[in-house]
Amino acid sequence: MPTGVAIRDAREQLFDAAERVLLRDGPSALTSRAVTAEAGCAKGVLHRHFADFDAFLAELVQDRIARIDGQSAALRDSAGTGTVVGNLAQALTDLFGPVAVAIVALVTFRDELRARLRLTSPVGIPLLTEATAMIASYLTAERELGRIAADAEVDTLAPTLIGAAHLLFADRKGAPPETGAVRKAVITVLASAAQDRP
């Protein structure tokens, strides 16, 4: 794109370009030049909107983390409907789409990015920490409804579910796991807590 041409919603355009580079080439290929080339804009556009490239990446991750809020509300609203296993399997499948898996890889790959994200996500791995909170909130709601055991250790079950699901989905180049594999992982983790097994 020629210099001087206005870009509509440059921030979102740059985020989308970064995601495409990340999905196609992995975290090591994610540079400001790669992002702006993918977005079809001058490199200065990125620096006009963000203090530096790590600030851009931090905002990209925070933007993608913010999307978990919508997923979290929908999952909480599903409490008491369907089955606990079915709701969790679907939520984990939706959560660990290719972009989320790539974002987790990016966060673990770049030390400076992790350091910046510590300001808003002081513990754990950003995105996975928020995902764990989403699952814990849902499990708490189901426990209150009596659909999982009253003594279920939600604070242990939630990170265990996130870890198991992340391992299932973590192969960036491979096909996502079958629905049955996700359900089996959920059933196994919830073995002593779930009241409705189907």
Q: Name residues whose C-beta falls within 8 Å of residue 86's C-beta, 6 or more positions apart in sequence.
A: 183, 198
pTM of the complete model: 0.86
Alpha-carbon span 152 to 99, nearest angstrom? 31
Give residue-wise pLDDT tens across range 92-145. Answer: 999 999 989 999 999 988 888 888 888 877 778 889 999 999 999 999 999 999
pLDDT above 50 (res 197): no
Name the residue ranges covered by the structural domains of the chain: 8-49, 62-189
Q: Return d(Cα 7, Cα 4) in angstroms, integer.
A: 9
> What was the pLDDT predicted at 115?
86
CATH 1.10.357 fits 62-189, yes or no: yes
Compute the average pLDDT of residues 35-53.
Answer: 91
Q: Is 148 exposed, middle or buried (0-12, 13-18, 19+ CB in 10 A)?
A: buried
* Mean pLDDT (whole number) for 52-64: 92
Q: Does 46 have pLDDT greater than 70?
A: yes
Q: Which CATH architecture has domain 8-49?
A: Orthogonal Bundle (1.10)
- Is the pLDDT confidence value at 195 over 60? no
Task: Say if 8-49 and 62-189 have the same CATH topology.
Answer: no
